[in-house]
Amino acid sequence: MPTANDLLADLRAAGLTVVEEPGWKTRGGNWAEGGKPTGVCQHHTAPPNPYPIKALYRNNQIKCNMATHEDGTLYLVAYEACNYSTGRGSSVVLNENVRAEDPPRANAITRRLTDDMGGNRYFWNYENSHPGDGSPLPSIQLQTIVVSNVVVNAHFGLNWKRIISHAEWSRRKIDPRWNGGNRTAIEQIRELVGEGEDVSAGPNGEPNWNEVSSWAQNSWTWAWTNSLITEDSHPKAQQTVEQQMVFLNRYDGRGPHPIRSGSGGGGPGSGE
């Protein structure tokens, strides 16, 4: 069985800056299935930003397994199941999307799904420090989310098709919501994690974390990710490298965003 120490070693081998929160290796409860998570759920924290990490596991309310900050730092919060994170959501998503490895194509509220079950014990949860207002996510933070998710998937025997957003899980939620909206945010993560999983595949079946680290430094990989995209418009195909870099220079978490709407909605964590 993989261990918390194995996960830590692989995250660092992949070139990530990792901070261990005290007690993270034993924090959390039992997983629902097979002693490991069934899927991965991505969230944004809402303000304040950077979000205080200690608040993510205060008073025995464990709100995530990992957290990311805007500077690209990855925080390890809990190795076992959270008790105040994914919360109630739809069994349809768990059965027909996550277990079936057929990612959702719309949010739970759009699909008119019912929040009919608790999800905390099924998902490895990320809390990503961001206001949730559709504004750009810094490229270095997105890089950390993606590379660490590639590592987490390899560690637990998951893949990119088992990643969902909180908005896809529950009709009550809108997160994560950056780079123009929550559909953009989760589709970017899934696409890039899938690409990273292809890169990581070594000839002997073991992940090659040196290759992943090198891939993560490729400016092409990250140049297009902060562009505003829709389901019918793929900036990788439509923008030159120069155009993408102009976009990043203007909007990469440092300046005004051309589209802002709505609010971040709540804070991290959701009860069972």
Q: Identify whether 271 is part of a domain.
A: no
Q: Identify whether 258 is part of a domain.
A: no
Domain count, the chain: 1
Q: Identify whether 171 is part of a domain.
A: yes
Can you give the pLDDT at residue 246?
41
Q: Identify whether 261 is part of a domain.
A: no
**Which pTM does this prediction carry?**
0.84
Can you give the pLDDT at residue 259?
25
Note down the domain range covering 231.
4-251
H/E element holding 140? helix 139-156
Q: Which of 145, 20, 123, 126 is nearest to 64 (CA)?
A: 126
Q: Identify whether 53 is part of a domain.
A: yes
Q: In whole angstroms, what is the distance from residue 95 CA to residue 139 CA?
A: 33
* Contact criterion met (CB below 8 Å) for 245 and 223: yes
Q: Identify whether 257 is part of a domain.
A: no
* Contact criterion met (CB below 8 Å) for 28 and 62: yes
Which amino acid is it at 43? H
Which amino acid is it at 269? G
What lies within 8 Å, CB to CB, of 63 at 6+ separation is 55, 56, 57, 77, 82, 84, 85, 125, 127, 268, 269
CA angle, 22 then 23 then 27, to 5°: 140
* Contact criterion met (CB below 8 Å) for 83 and 29: yes
Can you give the pLDDT at residue 175?
97
Can you give the pLDDT at residue 16?
96
Q: Identify whether 260 is part of a domain.
A: no
Q: Identify whether 265 is part of a domain.
A: no
What lies within 8 Å, CB to CB, of 126 at 6+ separation is 40, 41, 42, 43, 64, 65, 66, 67, 68, 145, 149
pLDDT in tens, the chain (272 residues): 899 999 999 999 999 999 999 999 999 999 999 999 999 999 999 999 999 999 999 999 999 999 999 999 999 999 999 999 999 999 999 999 999 999 999 999 999 999 999 999 999 999 999 999 999 999 899 999 999 999 999 999 999 999 999 999 999 999 999 988 999 999 999 999 999 999 999 888 789 999 999 888 874 455 545 443 333 333 333 333 344 344 334 333 333 322 222 333 446 776 65
Q: Which CATH number do you get for residue 118?
A: 3.40.80.10
